[in-house]
Amino acid sequence: MGFLSEDWGAIWLTLKLSVYVTVLLLLIGTPIAWWLARTRSRLKSWVGTVVALPLVLPPTVMGFYLLVVMGPNGPIGQLTQSLGLGLLPFTFSGLVIGSLFYSMPFVVQPLQNAFEAIGERPLEAAATLRASPLDVFFSVALPLARPGIITAAILGFAHTVGEFGIVLMIGGSIPDKTRVVSVQIYNHVEAFEYAHAHWLAGGMLVFSFAVLLALYMFNPKHRVCG
Amino acid sequence: MKDLIHARFKINYSSFALDFDLSLPGHGISALFGQSGSGKTTVLRCMAGLERAHDAYIEVNGEVWQDDARGIFLPTHKRSLGYIFQEASLFPHLSVRRNLEYGQKRTGGGSDNVAFGQAITLLGIDHLMERLPDKLSGGERQRVAIARALLTKPSLLLMDEPLAALDIKRKQEILPYLERLHDTLAIPILYVSHQPDEVVRLADQVVLLESGKVLACGPVTDVLARLDLSRTLLEEAASVIEATIGHHDTKYHLMRLDFRGGAILAAQRDLSLGQKVRLKMYARDVSITMSAPTDSSILNHLPAVVLEMADTSNPAIILVRLDLGGTPLLARITKRSRDMLGIVPGSQVFAQIKSVALLV
């Protein structure tokens, strides 16, 4: 008994998806979080709300809309088709895009909190020492936000590992392409293969526990938010 | 000396308005003095470009930093200034050395080891180089912050109550460094403070700010002796006189301090003849007699002429501005004494000075 070869495929796919999504989210989420932390624009609450939506929306709702928008008659679907990329639903790329939206708040919010906690003073001090705004960001803001960045990366990664509903909606269950661990567990249970489901579910449990434990031990000041 | 700093700007917040217009010499320490809420910090922040003033014209050393009439606004990082915040603003993730290098690297100063060595010696921080800021005392942090600002070779140093966050002991520790700064550097310093003591001790020029407006501006000895300004500082009202050591009396352990229009005696200190000092005399320590007292234990009584008198916030008490042959002196007396002695402007009197503080 142990993991089946399909199980290993699902595990591998899940890790690959989570790494892609985490890296992309850090790149996309950092400027958004920086803007949210610093702006006085009236758009702030609107953007903040959109970013936080996945916290309250059922994943199926998000998945449904993404499916429609990326489908053959949706605007993004038509765009990707005209660019010769084909359709995104039921592909790995589609899964990455769905996961980006879904895990966005878990990355943006810790980053935003970390940037806000820095306060104005170190940034102003850096400006009086001739650092340009971009220079200030890289030489002062990012290093001072490091605990928040670590929290954001771990939460983004762990949350992507654990998603289910949105994957099912826009990815389906294609082996080695869109069948991630959570979907595979569901499949085992549907087929009454409880022993296999146990292995994967137990693995997820141990993994999640270890990730959160590491987060709390290395970063006691930063709570898991969301 | 030619004025080298011109600053003119306005700020209109719903709760606060600032209307600032001033020219300052391009050397020495100019104190921006006023009660809290008078707009001192805002003035500094506007000078630095951290706050966006409007209708502004700011010129330092011939370089225009802001001229709204011509649409010029240099962002903070392009202004050649050093800024010392109230609480030290060292970067917590960098060692003292790397904090110091932060600004120096960015001014194209590269690794000017001579300047680096001078700055750390001047502020006495050579032994702290490898420490992180959270391992420093408040006074040490402020000294590092000052050295860090100096290393950018600024044309103007802005200091926002650099001692306010420190206790008395730390203040005493850092004040001598500020005085050394004043004596060794050619950089003009704009120094915000609401502590008369600091102003008297450090400043050459005083800019008195009240509710966002410049009330007075001039040499410290002139501004502090103005009655209309001292009224608000009843307890703290004081005169400052520049004097030189004229004579040491070894028998009585006294020394004579000569100033324009007179001389006074003070307890002997280890100072060489001819050395310049500042004397501070609180108005509350100066009283008036009509004739030279011959039976008083008070050492210093000087002939003076009453120039003017002013009411204070205390209805029993008035401030009297005296002239000691060209040097102004404030005295504080009761209204009853004024009437009993018949003191009016022009009266010939004697000023009795009970105590003198020496600011070396």
pLDDT(A226) > 60: no
Q: Check CB contact under 8 Å for A121 and B85.
A: yes
Evaluate whether residue B42 is within a structural domain: yes
Pairing of strands B189-193, B81-84: unpaired
* CB contacts, 8 Å: A139 with chain B: 102
B195–chain A nearest CA distance, Å: 24
Q: Check CB contact under 8 Å for B102 and A131.
A: yes
* Residue A225 pLDDT: 45
The full set of domain ranges for chain A reads: 5-218
CA distance A209 to A165: 21
B7–chain A nearest CA distance, Å: 18
- Write down the pTM of the prediction: 0.79
- Averaged in consecutive runs of 10 residues, what is the pLDDT profile of chain B (360 residues)? 79 85 88 86 94 92 92 95 91 95 84 82 91 92 93 93 83 83 86 83 86 85 70 69 90 92 89 87 90 87 91 87 90 93 93 85
* Residue B230 pLDDT: 59
DSSP state of A177: T
* Residue B305 pLDDT: 94
Per the CB < 8 A criterion, the answer to whether B42 and B51 are in contact is yes
The count of domains in chain B is: 2
Q: Do both B207 and B354 map to the same domain?
A: no
CA distance B231 to B314: 9
In sequence order, the 6+-apart residues with CB closer than 8 A to the CB of A119 are: none
Q: Do both B227 and B293 map to the same domain?
A: no
Please tell me which residue, B184 or A17, carries the higher pLDDT value.
Answer: A17
ipTM of this complex prediction, to 2 decimal places: 0.81
Burial of A202 (0-12, 13-18, 19+ CB in 10 A): exposed
A140–chain B nearest CA distance, Å: 7
Over residues A25-59, the pLDDT tens digits come to: 999 999 999 999 999 999 999 999 999 999 999 99
Structure-token pair, residue A21? 């999504």
Q: Which residue of B44, B80, B84, B89 is the best one to mutate when testing the A interface, meaning the one whose CB has the most A CBs within 10 A?
A: B89
Evaluate whether residue B251 is within a structural domain: no
Q: What's chain A's length in residues?
A: 226
Q: Which residue of A40, A120, A121, A129 is the best one to mutate when testing the B interface, meaning the one whose CB has the most B CBs within 10 A?
A: A129
Q: Check CB contact under 8 Å for A128 and B106.
A: no
Chain A's closest residue to B91, CA to CA, is A122
* Residue A1 pLDDT: 65
Chain A's closest residue to B104, CA to CA, is A129
Over residues A107-142, the pLDDT tens digits come to: 999 999 999 999 999 999 999 999 999 999 999 999
* Residue A44 pLDDT: 94
CATH no. for residue B299?
Answer: 2.40.50.100
Reduced to 3 states (helix: H, G, I; strand: E, B; else coil), residue A18 is: helix
Domain that holds residue B304: 238-244+275-359
* Residue B2 pLDDT: 55
The pLDDT mean for chain A works out to 91
**Which numeric CATH code is attached to A5-218?**
1.10.3720.10
Q: Do both B215 and B313 map to the same domain?
A: no
- Out of A131, A143, A146, the one facing B77 most closely (by C-beta) is A131
CATH no. for residue B107?
Answer: 3.40.50.300
Average pLDDT over residues A4-28: 93
Q: Check CB contact under 8 Å for B77 and A130.
A: yes
Average pLDDT over residues A86-108: 93
Structure-token pair, residue A199? 């292995």
* CB contacts, 8 Å: A221 with chain B: none
